[in-house]
Amino acid sequence: MSKGAISINDDAFEKTVLGSSLPVLVDFWAPWCGPCLITGPILEELAEEFEGRVLMTKFNVDEGSRTPAQYGIMAIPTLIIFKDGKEVDRVVGAVPKHVLEGKIEALL
C-alpha cells in the first residue's frame, strides 16, 4: 500500500471508492483553488495517520466532471467520506485537521 493520498478520476472512482473494503475519504479539489491547497497537506498527514484503516483519495475536478456532477459538488474543496460504497459524511471548504480526524474516527 502506498503512503499518501492517491489520485483518482471518473474511470477509477467506482472501483477505488465504491468498491473499497475500507472507508474512503475523497477530496474534490483543483490546483487553482487556494483553500484546496491548504487541505492537501492535511490530507497527506491523515493518509499516513490512518494508513491501512482509511483510504485517502484526491479527485481533480478539472480532470473529470461526471463524478463531481453525480455527487452535486458545487464548491471545492468538498471532502466526502464513503463507507461500504455509500456517502456517510461531507465537509465543504477548508477545515482544521482535527475536524477531519474526528469525522474519520467516528466511522472506525
C-alpha cell at 47: 493518509
pLDDT tens per residue across all 108 residues of the chain? 447 899 999 999 999 999 999 999 999 999 999 999 999 999 999 999 999 999 999 999 999 999 999 999 999 999 999 999 999 999 999 999 999 999 999 998
Does residue 33 carry a catalytic annotation? yes
Does residue 83 carry a catalytic annotation? no
The angle, 0 to 180 degrees and rounded to 10, between the axes of the packed helices 34-49 and 97-107 is: 50
- Whether residue 89 lies inside any domain: the answer is yes
Asked whether the beta carbons of 50 and 61 are under 8 A apart, the reply is no
Beta bridge partners of 19: none
- Whether residue 85 lies inside any domain: the answer is yes
Backbone angles phi and psi of 90, in degrees to 5: -150, 140
Domain count for the chain: 1
Catalytic choice (36, 54, 73, 76): 36
> For residue 59, what is the domain's CATH number?
3.40.30.10
- Whether residue 67 lies inside any domain: the answer is yes
- Whether residue 88 lies inside any domain: the answer is yes
Residues whose CB falls within 8 Å of the CB of residue 38, separated by 6 or more in sequence, listed in order = 94
- Whether residue 46 lies inside any domain: the answer is yes
- Whether residue 1 lies inside any domain: the answer is no
- Whether residue 20 lies inside any domain: the answer is yes
Catalytic choice (5, 17, 25, 33): 33
Q: Which domain holds residue 97?
A: 6-107
